Amino acid sequence: MTKLVTPGDKLGNATQFKAGKGAYINDNTIYASLIGSFQIVSPLPESLDQRAIVEVIGHKAHGLIPEPGSVVIARVTKVVAKMASVDILCVGSKAVGEKFAGIIRQQDVRATEIDKVDMHLSFRAGDIVRAMVLSLGDSRAYYLSTAKNELGVVSAESAAGETMVPISWTEMQCPLSGQTEQRKVAKVV
């Protein structure tokens, strides 16, 4: 039988147990730091400290969470004059378990000629972009940047419904119609 615990619940005494995942010590008492199942794990035989380990396994399988500095893959949902709104799909190469919103501000699109950036010529709704998390932003969205060569649009669909191919760092072309469209293209890594 597993016991469900919440943050702050007492799990044991630090003289008898070690704090493991999802647990912390305060004043020689071990407490839960997240909601989940409480369990006691035997120490490894080669461990010098032979106290059992108290840990909490997250109740809900927590997926990856975007953090400042991490590279994410996102889908553009809306583009306005000063920013593009995105839904974060992956952190690194792993899909996120829940929906995270992001914003690419005009000043974060590229490293040079920031004042000349036209958001509508950099991104379109539906584009898939590779971006770096700058900060947690506000309560609604993470702030993202595409200001490095390897960041920007990695996949876009043309008006003809074809996946476009990059032909420069500012243009993508439809292989069917040959028509080109402006984008902030990610350099292929």
What pLDDT sits at residue 112? 86
> Residue 74: what pLDDT?
95
- Residue 44 lies in domain: 3-58
My answer on whether 40 and 99 are in the same domain is no
Query: Has residue 189 been placed in a domain?
Result: no
Please tell me whether residues 113 and 138 are part of one structural domain: yes
DSSP at 186: P
Whether residue 93 is found in the same domain as residue 170: yes
Which residues of the chain fall below pLDDT 70? 1-2, 59-63, 189
Are residues 154 and 80 part of one domain? yes
Q: Are residues 86 and 169 in the same domain?
A: yes
The candidate with the shortest Cα–Cα distance to 72, out of 134, 138, 137, is: 134
Residue 41 vs residues 21, 31, 51, 54, 56: alpha-carbon distances, Å: 11, 16, 9, 6, 10
Rounded-to-integer distance, Cα 27 and Cα 149, Å: 49
